[in-house]
Amino acid sequence: MSHASTTAESEDSSTIDTALSTESRDDRSSRPDETVIRSSGLDVYYGEDQALDGIDMEIPARKVTALIGPSGCGKSTFLRSINRMNDLIDVARVDGDLYFRRKNVYDADVDPVALRRKIGMVFQKPNPFPKSIRDNVAYGLRVQGKTDDVDGRIEEALRGAALWDEVEDRLGESGLELSGGQQQRLCIARAIATDPEVILMDEPASALDPVATAKIEDLIEDLAREYTVVIVTHNMQQAARISDKTAVFLTGGNLVEFGDTNEVFSNPENDRVEDYITGKFG
Amino acid sequence: MPRESYQNQLADLERRVLEMADLVTERTAQSLEAFTYKDEALARTIIDGDAEVNERYLELEGACIDLLALQQPVAGDLRFVAASFKIITDLERIADLATNLGQYTLQAERNRYPDIDISYIGEEALSMVGSAMTAYETRDTALAREVAARDDEVDDRCERASDLVVRDLIETEVADETTFADVRRMFLTIRDVERVGDHAVNVAARVLYMVENDDELIY
C-alpha cells in the first residue's frame, strides 16, 4: 500500500488523536452541517486497475450518507479508503487527498489504528469475537484505554446499539449465540464503544431478514444524532429510506451524482443515474 | 430492458389514463350539447354514466397505489405515477361537472338566457383539457404552459356571462321563485364550466411537474 499525495502538505499537522482529543461528542453536537470527511481528487488503484477516479465529496456531520451503485463501481473502495482499510491490500495505491476534519488521513504521521478508532466500521456479515457479549464490547473500551466504569460504559454502548434490553440478563453468553441481527447490533455496540465520530457500514443489513433489517435501519437513523454514518448499500429503497445524502457511483469508479437523497430519488440531474435508480440498467 | 413487467405496468397506466380522459372529454362534450339543445335523454345518459367514470377512477387509483407499494418508482417514474394519480382526480371532477350540467338541463324549464352561449365557453375549456392530455401523452411542456395561459380566456368569457345574468336580475322588476332558480342555476352552470378550465390547468401543472420537476403551475 502506498500513497502519493498530489497536494503538498495536509492542512493540519496534528495527529488524528490530538486533532480530536479535546472534543467529546457533546462538544461537536452544535455543528451538524459541518463537513467531517472531504475527499479531493481521490484515485485508488489496485495494481494497474483504477478503482476510483478523482472522487470529490464532502460528507456532512451527523447525517447518513449512502453510497449506491452497481457492483464493481467503487463504492466499497471509497468507503474503505476513508479509514484506510485499503492499507491492508498490498497492491492498493491512493492518490489525491482525503481529509478527516482538517487532517489528511494519508499523511505519514497518521496512525491507521488510531484513525479506525475515530472512524469505526461495521461489515456486511456480523463478525463478533468468539467471546462473551460483555467482552465483545469491553474490547472496544480496552483499545481506548478506558478502564474505569467498564460496566457502565458497556451498558451505554449496548443501549446505543439498541441491544441492551435484549441482552442485559445474559452478558456472559457468547456473542455467537445471538441472532444475526443481534450480532450485527453487537458489532455496532463494539464500534461505538471506542467513541468514534464516524461509523462506516458496508451493506450492514444485506445478510439479515426484514425484521432485523428494520431494526438496523431504525438504529442507523438514531446513530446519526450522535455520529456521522456512511453506508454502502445495494438496496436502493434502503438508501432512500434512511439516508440524508446519496452518492451514486457508476462504472469506472466515477462519482456521478451526489446530493440530498430526496433530490437524487425524485429528480436526479444525471440521465445515467436516472436509468440506474429506475432499474433501466445496472 | 430490465424490469420489463414494471415498464409494462407504467405504459399500461398511461394508456388507461388517456382512455379515461377520452371518456370524460366525450361525456363533457355531450353534456354541453344536451344543455344547449335541452336534450333530456342525452342529459340522463350523462348522469347515469357517471358511475362508470367513478369506477375507472377507482381502478386507476388502485393501479397507482400498487405501483407505489410494489415497484417503488423513483425519479421520472415516480413523478409520472404521482402526476397520473393527481390527473385522474381532475378527470373525475370534470366528469362530475358534466353530470351537474346534465342535471341543470333536466331542471331548467326554459332558457332564460339565450344570449349566453355555454357551449362556446365549454368548448374552449374542453379543448384545454384535450391539449393538457396531449401534453401528458407527448411530454410537451410548451403545450402544458399554453394550456395554463388559455385559462384567462375562459375566465373572461365566464365573467362576461355572469355580467349578463346580473344585469338581467337588476332589470327584472319582480323576481319570482322561478326567476331566482334560473339565476342560481345559470351562475352554477357558468361556475362549473369555468372549473373545467381550472382542472385542465391542474392537469397541465402536473405534466410540467412530471416532465421537468417544475411546480410553477401547481400553486
Q: What is the pLDDT of residues A142-196, one digit of tens each?
A: 877 888 889 999 999 999 999 999 999 999 999 999 999 999 999 999 999 988 9
CA distances in angstroms from A86 to A3, A81, A90, A98, A249, listed in the order given:
11, 6, 8, 13, 18
Is residue A6 pLDDT above 50, yes or no?
Answer: no
Task: Say how far apart CA A146 and CA A137 lie, in whole Å.
Answer: 12
Write out pLDDT tens, residues A45-94.
999 999 999 999 999 999 999 999 999 999 999 999 999 998 888 889 99
Q: Tell me what the pLDDT averaged over chain B comes to.
A: 94
| Nearest CA-CA partner of B63 in B7, B23, B16 | B16
Helix (H) or strand (E) holding A59: strand A49-60
Which residue of B3, B74, B210, B215 to mutate against A (max A Cβ within 10 Å)? B74
Write out pLDDT tens, residues A88-100.
888 899 999 999 9
CB–CB of A123/A140 below 8 Å?
no
Task: Say how far apart CA A239 and CA A260 lie, in whole Å.
Answer: 11
CB–CB of A73/A251 below 8 Å?
yes
Which chain B residues are within 8 Å of A273, Cβ to Cβ?
Answer: 75
B69 DSSP 8-state letter: I
Whether A267 sits inside 8 A of B213 (CB atoms) is yes
Q: Which pLDDT value is given to residue A31? A: 63
Q: Looking at CA atoms only, how far is residue B212 from chain A in angstroms?
A: 9
As a whole number of Å, the CA-based R_g of chain B is 19
Q: Which pLDDT value is given to residue B68? A: 93
CATH 3.30.300.30 fits B4-212, yes or no: no
Q: Which pLDDT value is given to residue A27? A: 52
The single residue listed with the C-alpha cell 342525452 is B42
Q: Tell me what the pLDDT averaged over chain A comes to.
A: 88
* Nearest-Cα residue of chain B relative to residue A263: B75
Q: Looking at CA atoms only, how far is residue A240 from chain B in angstroms?
A: 9
Whether B1 sits inside 8 A of A267 (CB atoms) is no
The answer to which of A239-248, B3-12, B85-94 has the lowest mean pLDDT is B3-12
Which chain A residues are within 8 Å of B76, Cβ to Cβ?
Answer: 274, 278
* Residue A236 grid cell: 436502493
The amino acid at residue A45 is Y
Is residue B175 pLDDT above 70, yes or no?
Answer: yes
Which chain A residues are within 8 Å of B209, Cβ to Cβ?
Answer: none
CA distances in angstroms from B63 to A61, B57, B89, B137, listed in the order given:
40, 10, 14, 18
Contacts of A152 (CB under 8 A, 6+ apart): none
Task: Say how far apart CA A198 and CA A62 lie, in whole Å.
Answer: 8
As a whole number of Å, the CA-based R_g of chain A is 18
CB–CB of A225/A61 below 8 Å?
no
Task: Say how far apart CA B112 and CA A227 lie, in whole Å.
Answer: 74
Give the CA count within 13 Å in the CB-facing half-sphere of B129.
33
Q: Which pLDDT value is given to residue A68? A: 97
Nearest residue, CB atoms, B2 vs list A268, A273, A279: A279
Which chain B residues are within 8 Å of A266, Cβ to Cβ?
Answer: 74-75, 78-79, 213
Whether A280 sits inside 8 A of B3 (CB atoms) is yes
Whether A265 sits inside 8 A of B6 (CB atoms) is no
Task: Say how far apart CA A69 and CA A236 lie, in whole Å.
Answer: 9
Q: Looking at CA atoms only, how far is residue B54 from chain A in angstroms?
A: 30
* Residue B98 grid cell: 358534466
Contacts of A7 (CB under 8 A, 6+ apart): A40, A97
Is residue B2 pLDDT above 80, yes or no?
Answer: no
Percentage of chain A surpassing pLDDT 90?
A: 75
Helix (H) or strand (E) holding B32: helix B4-37
Whether B77 sits inside 8 A of A281 (CB atoms) is no
Nearest residue, CB atoms, B75 vs list A237, A267, A281: A267
Which chain A residues are within 8 Å of B2, Cβ to Cβ?
Answer: 279-282
Average pLDDT over residues A133-146: 88
| Nearest CA-CA partner of B116 in A87, A282, B108 | B108
Q: CATH number for the A2-277 domain, one of 3.40.50.300, 1.10.10.10, 3.40.50.2300, 3.40.190.80?
A: 3.40.50.300
- Please tell me whether residue A95 adopts helix, strand or coil conformation: strand
* Nearest-Cα residue of chain A relative to residue B4: A280
Which residues share a beta bridge with A260? A245
Nearest residue, CB atoms, A274 vs list B1, B3, B76: B76
The single residue listed with the C-alpha cell 423513483 is B74
Which residues share a beta bridge with A2? A93
